[in-house]
Copies of this chain bind each other. A is one copy, B any other.
Amino acid sequence: MDQVSVAVVGAGIAGLTCARELARAEARVTVFERSRGLGGRLGTRRQGNFAFDHGAQFVTARSRPFVKYVEIAGRAGVVLPWRPRILEDDRAWDAPIEEWHVGAPGMSALVRPLARGLDVMMGVGVNELLQGQRGWEVQTDSGRAPRTFDAVAVAVPAPQALALLGPHGRTFRHIADVRMAPCWAAMVTFDAPVDVGAEVRRWTTGALSWAACDSSKPGRPVGPQAWTLHASVPWSREHLEADSQEVARLLLHEFGRSTGTPLPAPSHLAAHRWRHAYAEQALGLPCLVDEEIAAGACGDWCIAPRVEAAYESGRTLAHSLLSTVGLASPALLR
């Protein structure tokens, strides 16, 4: 049999996990990623010597496959446990319920091992998927990809997944049921130390939902104190189209107000808008697959807004596509 070829759209943890599982089963996999960095919302934003985790802040691991992955990444030194002091509203968490893990030196380190050895086309956005006579054709923003694919896996936020797969049948129209919420993230550094009583502050009401001292995470370079602030969903929605410098200023002000702490002038201040940050209403399935046309979608938005859900969704889609195209699942090939 000729080598089965699969196009994976998106190099977040869902797409890379899916791609890796397919590649382990001897499929020929090409990953297309619009941005110039791996990891999607597990991204890391460099700023001088420091890197902010401006998207996902930590991961938890519940099911053995992801536990094992975190353990292996831990042995490679790219994942470390993080045990911050936490204040939620004004209540201290004595002990976190689950162990929190972070990538080192940044969250994106968590996905990099998944990409090893994969054919990843960075900075190549996919605009359209076409069912041609010899398989799937991929229309990118730099032209038609030179080869066709036996199967496609789409691992991007729900609205983009709908745009790519919606035209290919009833199955994918259900992606429209998924509701994603935005999140404005501000990134701040202070040269003088700031004490707000804990490394993590969370709020259930108000403009901010999360503030974490990123520089308190293990494996970070020594330097200024760096904070990532996440706005609440209502606030992010209300300010969705606002100017990012203005948003950064507002969130920094809110941080001082909510913590009751006078803040020194920041040495760096910026904001990033995650237009599709969380699945507020998930699909309610592990992944979405149409076996007849060998196409599927995966992502945290299928299951729940958790990094591990993205990983498991990508893994499940890979196994579904493998049986569709007639390949053995990876465990059989070890």
The size of the chain A interface, using a CB distance under 8 A, is 42
Out of B174, B286, B308, B326, which one reaches A316, CB within 8 Å?
B286
Interface string of A310-329 (1 = CB under 8 A from B): 00110010011011101011
Measured CA separation A303–B322 after assembly (Å): 22
Contacts of A306 in B (CB 8 A): 284
In the complex, identify which listed stretch (A196-204, A254-262, A289-297) lies at the interface while the others stay far away.
A289-297
Contacts of A170 in B (CB 8 A): 67
Out of B62, B292, B329, which one reaches A322, CB within 8 Å?
B329
Measured CA separation A95–B317 after assembly (Å): 31
Q: Are B284 and A303 in contact (CB under 8 A)?
A: yes
Q: Are B308 and A284 in contact (CB under 8 A)?
A: yes
Measured CA separation A170–B61 after assembly (Å): 10
A309 on the B face (CB < 8 A): yes
Out of B289, B304, B328, B330, which one reaches A284, CB within 8 Å?
B304
Out of B65, B285, B291, B331, which one reaches A312, CB within 8 Å?
B285
Q: Are B331 and A304 in contact (CB under 8 A)?
A: no
A120 on the B face (CB < 8 A): no
Enumerate A264-318 residues with CB–CB distance to B below 8 Å.
Answer: 282-292, 303-304, 306, 308-309, 312-313, 316
A297, closest chain B residue (CB): B63
A171 on the B face (CB < 8 A): yes
Q: Are A65 and B291 in contact (CB under 8 A)?
A: yes
Measured CA separation A258–B62 after assembly (Å): 43
Counting chain B CB atoms within 10 Å of each CB, the highest count among A63, A68, A171, A331 belongs to A63
A66, closest chain B residue (CB): B285
Out of B67, B97, B285, which one reaches A303, CB within 8 Å?
B285
Out of B64, B283, B313, which one reaches A292, CB within 8 Å?
B64
Out of B62, B282, B322, B323, which one reaches A283, CB within 8 Å?
B62
Known: A284-B303, A284-B308, A289-B64. A326 touches B332 (CB 8 A): yes
Interface residues of A (CB under 8 A from B): 62-65, 67-68, 97-98, 170-171, 174, 177, 282-292, 303-304, 306, 308-309, 312-313, 316, 319-320, 322-324, 326, 328-332
